[in-house]
Amino acid sequence: MKFAIQINEGPYQHQASDSAYFFTKNVLEKGHEVFRVFFYHDGVNNSTRLTTPPQDDRHIVNRWAELGAKYDLDLVVCVAAAQRRGIVDDGEAKRNGKDATNIHPKFRISGLGQLVEAAIQSDRLVVFGD
Amino acid sequence: MSEVVKKFMYLNRKAPYGTIYAWESLEVVLVGAAFDQEVSLMFVDDGVYQLVKGQDTAGIGMKNFSPTYRTLGDYEVKYIYVDADSLAARGLTQDDLVAIAYEDMDTEEEIENIVEVVDAARVTEIMDESDVVFSF
């Protein structure tokens, strides 16, 4: 089966990203396909490479990035939500005159159309959040 | 833009202010219009407050996006449902809600108000008939 995953909450504050991670990892291990993981609302905060949790805690951002690398996942961060919350890549930094970037290279910033397309192309859209 | 036409439901469960869910959900609906899917919006729980008319956000310093709902008919939204129990539990009736008009571009059919209050059984049914539920 082909899945699209939507994550609506930020890391650590909320379990949504953890649950989404385990769900995604498990469906992939069972041989299913994940068309895209889309980060929306505060979920965009799951993509900052500047995250530094205590050493004895899980690293939510790196964990997504590693899963992404292993399965060639499309990890997409909503541009409108990212702009509001200061998640920046090179393109956004140039466009909006910012002096820094913070997105992890395994993620990419794109539009809401990517969420809608994922919902159309997949058999199931699974939403994680409040 | 896409050959596949699915039944999309945007499930709105949160009050319009207090959290950003309602506003960012509306942004998906507006962008999603370009994809020509069959779109419905369902309002349940505190989500019913999103449709209450006469909203004034001056006191909280936030943009009042309430007028946007009245334009949804121009964004390919054909069906808008409100859960009757959620409405009643908050002392509201359909008279408290905005009216949203819809005009079918192909048939020129005009509907004055597509906001429909439905009971719990119907909510379940409509949800079950949907291919995709975007939950906000």
ipTM of the complex: 0.86
So what's the pLDDT on residue B63?
Answer: 93
What ranges do the domains of chain B cover? 7-135
Helix (H) or strand (E) holding A77: strand A75-78
Per-residue pLDDT tens digits for B23-71: 999 999 999 989 999 999 999 999 999 999 999 999 999 999 999 999 9
* Confidence band, pLDDT 50/70/90 cuts, at residue B2: low
Distance from CA of B24 to the nearest CA of A (A): 7
Per-residue pLDDT tens digits for B71-124: 999 998 999 999 999 999 999 999 999 999 998 878 888 999 999 999 999 999
Distance from CA of A109 to the nearest CA of B (A): 16
Per-residue pLDDT tens digits for A68-84: 999 999 999 999 999 99
Nearest to B12 by CA among B107, B123, B91, B128: B123
Per-residue pLDDT tens digits for A28-65: 999 999 999 999 999 999 999 999 999 999 999 999 99
- Is A78 a known active-site residue? yes
Structure tokens at A55: 């050493």
So what's the pLDDT on residue B4?
Answer: 81
Instruction: Look up the CATH architecture of domain B7-135.
Output: 3-Layer(aba) Sandwich (3.40)
Catalytic residue among A34, A78, A103, A125: A78
Q: How far apart are CA B31 and CA A111, in angstroms?
A: 9
Contacts of A101 (CB under 8 A, 6+ apart): A88, A89, A90, A92, A93
So what's the pLDDT on residue B103?
Answer: 87
Question: Model pTM?
Answer: 0.91
In percent, the amount of chain B with pLDDT more than 90 equals: 86
